[in-house]
Structure 1
Amino acid sequence: MSAETRSPVAEDPLADGWRRPRGARSGYRVDAWVALALAGGTALSISLSLGTGLMGDSPWWLVVPWVALIALPLAARRRWPEAVALLVSVVFGVFGSLGVADGLFSNICLYVAIYSVGAWSHHRTIARWTRLGIIAGMFIWLFWTLLEHANQTTMIPELSREGFFSPYAAYGLLQVLINLVYFWAAYHFGDTAWHAARRSAALEARTGELAAERERTATQAVTLERVRIARELHDVVAHHVSVMGVQAGAARRILGTDPAAAARAISVIEESARTAVDELHTMLGALRADDNDCDGAQPAHQSTSTRGVDQLAELAQENTDAGLGVRLQVIGEPRQVPGTIGLSLYRIAQEALTNTRKHAGAGATAELRLRYEADAVELEITDTGRGVRPQPGAPGVSTGSGGLGQRGMRERIAAVGGTLELANRPRGGYLVRARVPFGPALPTLGAGSGPAAGTAAGSSSSPVADHAAVAGVTGVKK
């Protein structure tokens, strides 16, 4: 393919300057065979015409070049359509004036030449004026011939020239009508072929774009799914491993002095490990599930996809049992929260409490505040730990990229159209505030159907809370 056909204009069928591709080499071979067939038909036709004596007695040295020049150039009609059309039309007119014509195949050759300009030309303005010039020249020649023969009684003597509308005038009008239809068909069907090629190219281009878009969409879907899985794994594993780490450290410290408390700490570790395995099993099962396996039955255990704001009390109690005092407070009239929003808020709370256990230091406590507003739900997690040292010159709200945990929180809240605030508290500790707007038409929950307002999940301290507190790990919040 030439550089011309690889240009952006040639490749975009909807561009104003689109050029029809020349096609494969097989198309040139077809054109060559068509030209040879027309040359053979023209030779046969002129031979038969000369044999009848109706076309006069043209010498062979005029007939042979006429046959070659009017048919064989059509082999290049796809590559140089304008030049071929001009050559064939000049040969048609000049040799016709000399009396060399067959009345059949020569007209077919001229038709194909004019048609090819409309079908294959790369320059539509030149193609238009080339065809119009050829057609105008042919009609001038026709009118001149009719007028010249009108004054020669020896030409078609059987047609009378007498009267206002003589038989010869009728013959002349018939010739004009025949040529009008002939040239209109060559012009029209040439343009039709070009537009059909353009529509076909546009369809192929759109099909290719759709295929590429499907490929990009599939790749993006895989990437997004990998990010989602990584986020879920991080939230689940980090939370439970953090609990197990704190409890293991506490159990190790009190194993010799308080075996009963150490046993209870080990029980917490066992429960956290079982819960983590259960959640991972549920997650992997969802990833492997086939659409044919979805019969609508809910699993008997609590799945990770069904966690939401209603499970915040369980989360607070779980952290309290692990040694971090957590108090849950519900403000406002509880409302039904969509599952995706509820899961996102739950995971944000889980990650925030995990960071508090890891980085807040010994003796820190945390508080969850779930606030129902008229058009939004807000979850605030605060702790009494050391907080995070702000970046030099940064405002109070932390806007840095943070670690995987904070990145996961931002991705979750962005996915549900909410906002996230991460900041140091002026009096010490750290603040995580997630706010998600939703429609005001969501129904409120009946009494007892949601977490009770002012629930203090941290009111009952863990048997090893004081020992677990010393296992807090210092460092910068993730």
Structure 2
Amino acid sequence: MTDLRGAEWVRPKPSPRSMRGDLGLAVLLAFAALTTSLLYQRTGLIAEPAEPWVWGLGLGLATLPLSLRRRYPVPVAVIVSVGFFICGQFAVPEILIVNICLFIALYTVGAWEERRALAVWARIAIGGALILWLVLSLIISSSDTDAFPGLSRSGLFSAYATFAVIQLITNLMYFGGAYYFGERSWRAARAQARLEAQGRELELERQTSAAQAVALDRIAIARELHDVVAHHVSVMGIQAAAARRSIERDPVRSAAALEVVEESAHTAVEELRRLVHTLRTPEAETGSSTVGIAQLATLIAESQSAGVPTTLIVAGDPRPLPMLVDVALYRVVQEALTNVRKHAGRGATADVRLRFTAGTVEVEVSDDGVRQRAGEHSEGAGLGIRGMRERIGAVGGTVQAGRREPALGAGTGGFLVRASVPAPAPAPTPAYANSAHPAESEAGAIDA
């Protein structure tokens, strides 16, 4: 008897409303027992009924304790069975209501007693004791000719023997029914509790999943905004500074720098507008993106226009990539070049290498900056590198970022970012894939 977490299931205590209902039931049964006992007495079926105090004691014990049947199931069942015994043994003229009360008491033990071993043995003990009393009463009555005078006692299958068998079968069914329905009620309550616990866990899991989805969406939005804004704003800042310094002595160069600022601002606005549109109407997303490794040349040109000489090197045979991989690699190069402009210092150059191998595709961005890049020299530091790892990790790849080994002494190493993503090359198409199989062609020639 365990719930979903393996702990012992405990049935909740009865509510005040159910306790009031039990009290009302006990009072109603007591009144009904008194009424039916008076009616039975009126019929004269019992020649010598019990004394009034025995009468009241038996009926009271059989009915009134039921007001506490859910709180104290076993003690109530014992008391009710004592009242039942008094009514039957001392000729209290009542049969119907006391039988109903005993059934309710035994049923309640099975349905509400938390100690299941006690519930089982209490019902077995009460039922066994009352059946034993019945058997002894039948044996005693078999030799008393005044008891059941109309029933013959001669022979093995006499009328009295048949009557005794009927009494035993009826009582066995009576106690068996109380046992069965009590157990069924307990199991139904336990199953209901399990379903409710499972519903609560599912609801908690749904809420947790929703919260995680919101958190992931926020991270994705933050990463996308960081990639878009940081890149274009860094270009705009560098070009605006160049325009400010050369506006008097070289107006043409200043105008060219301002054109780059204008173009970067326009591009940033367009990408932000596209991002907002996707967020507002995700169903309108076509699944394609306007950025990818095919646009790396544009990033190289922007980097060069921002004053950082940049070279693009492609190794291997280029091939189409999945959309998510394509966008992730593009964003890594974009963020890495943005960091070069921000941290590598004046005079730095950058190299972008795109490698296609049989099982992977890799991008590498390195620079020869001479100044330590605050926040970028330690493993995993900075929002930019964190965003790279999140993007590449989402498509099953890895990112390495750190200082390069110094080439000509301290301060000449620069920084390197390398992202690698599994991207198996498509299987080669057999030379005869689009033509008839050689054997088939030969067979055709023979047939001809």
**TM-score, structure 2 normalization:** 0.89
Asked if 1 retains the 8 angstrom alpha-carbon contact of 2:46 and 2:91, the reply is yes
User: Is residue 429 from structure 1 mapped to residue 414 from structure 2 by the alignment?
Assistant: yes
Unmatched runs of 5 consecutive residues or more in structure 2: 408-412, 430-448
Q: Secondary structure at the match of 1:152?
A: coil
Relative to structure 1, is the Cα distance of residues 199 and 443 closer, same or farther in structure 2, using a 3 angstrom cutoff?
farther
Task: Give the superposition deviation at 1:55.
Answer: 2.9
Shift of 1:306: 3.7
What is the CA deviation profile of residues 248-306 of structure 1, one whole-angstrom value per residue up to 9, with x for unaligned ones?
11112222222111111100000000111111111112122264xx3x669xxxx8x44
The secondary structure found in structure 2 opposite 1:423 is strand
Query: Which string of whole-angstrom CA distances, capped at 9 and with x for unpartnered residues, describes residues 222-257 of structure 1?
Result: 122111111111111110010011111111222222
Give the equivalent residue in structure 1 for 2:262: 270
Residue number in structure 2 paired with 1:454: none
Choose from 129, 134, 139 the match for 2:121.
129
Contact map agreement 1:85 1:110 (CA 8 A) in 2: yes
User: 1:439, 1:87 → 2: CA distance?
Assistant: 81
Shift of 1:345: 1.3
1:434 to partner: Cα distance: 0.8
Q: Provide the secondary structure at the position in 1 that maps to 2:264.
A: helix
Note if contact 2:74-2:113 (Cα within 8 Å) is conserved in structure 1.
yes
Equivalent pairs counted in the alignment come to 422
Superposed counterparts of 1:11-410, under 5 Å? 12=3, 15=6, 17-56=8-47, 57-289=49-281, 291=283, 294=284, 305-386=289-370, 388=372, 400-410=379-389
Letter aligned with residue 415 of structure 1: A
Q: Tell me the secondary structure at the aligned position of residue 328 of structure 1.
A: strand
Instruction: Measure the CA separation in 1 of the matches of 2:70 and 2:61.
Output: 17
Change (3 A) 1:159 1:442: farther
**Identity within the alignment, %:** 46
Q: 2:374, 2:339 → 1: CA distance?
A: 16
User: CA 1:55–1:320 in 2, change beyond 3 Å: closer, same or farther?
Assistant: farther
CA distance in 2: counterparts of 1:176 and 1:136, whole angstroms: 12
Q: Which moved more, 1:330-339 or 1:353-362?
A: 330-339
Q: In structure 2, what is the equivalent of residue 413 of structure 1?
A: 392
Secondary structure of residue in 1 paired with 2:365: strand
**What letter is aligned with 2:124?**
L
Check the 8 A contact 1:387/1:424 in 2, yes or no: no
Contact persistence 1:250–1:265 (CA under 8 A): yes
Task: Report the CA distance shift for 1:367/1:422 in structure 2 as closer, same or farther (over 3 A).
Answer: same
Contact 1:398 1:421 in 2 (8 A): no
Q: Is the 8 A contact 2:30 2:59 kept in 1?
A: yes
Q: Distance in 1 between matches of 2:374 and 2:21?
A: 76
Letter in 1 for 2:220: R
Q: Deviations over 1:83-121 (max 9, x none)?
A: 101111122113321122522111100000000001111
Distance 2:119 2:64 in 1: 21
SS in 1 for 2:50: coil
Which SS does the other structure have where 2:366 is aligned?
A: strand
- Matched-pair contact (CA < 8 Å) for 2:343–2:374: no
Deviation of 1:440 (Å) = 5.1
Deviations 1:115-160 (A, max 9, x none): 0001111111111111111111111111111111111121112111
Shift of 1:177: 1.0
Q: Deviations over 1:393-448 (max 9, x none)?
A: xxxx966341111111122122222111012111211110111124555899xxxx
The answer to whether the Cα contact below 8 Å between 1:55 and 1:102 also exists between their aligned partners in 2 is no
CA contact (8 A) 1:422 1:432 kept: yes
Matched to 1:321, the amino acid is S
For residue 323 of structure 1, what is the amino acid of its counterpart? G
1:325–1:289 Cα change, 3 Å: same
Cα pair 2:336 2:365 within 8 Å, conserved = yes
Q: What is the RMSD of the two structures over their aligned residues, measured on CA atoms?
A: 2.3
Task: With the length of structure 1 as denominator, give the TM-score of the two structures.
Answer: 0.83
4+ residue runs over 3 A deviation: 12-16, 387-391, 397-401, 438-444
- Bigger RCO of structures 1 and 2 (CA < 8 A, at least 6 apart): 1
Note if contact 1:413-1:420 (Cα within 8 Å) is conserved in structure 2: yes
Stretches of structure 1 lacking an aligned partner (at least 5 in a row): 1-8, 392-396, 445-478
Change (3 A) 1:70 1:247: same
> CA shift at 1:79, angstroms?
0.4
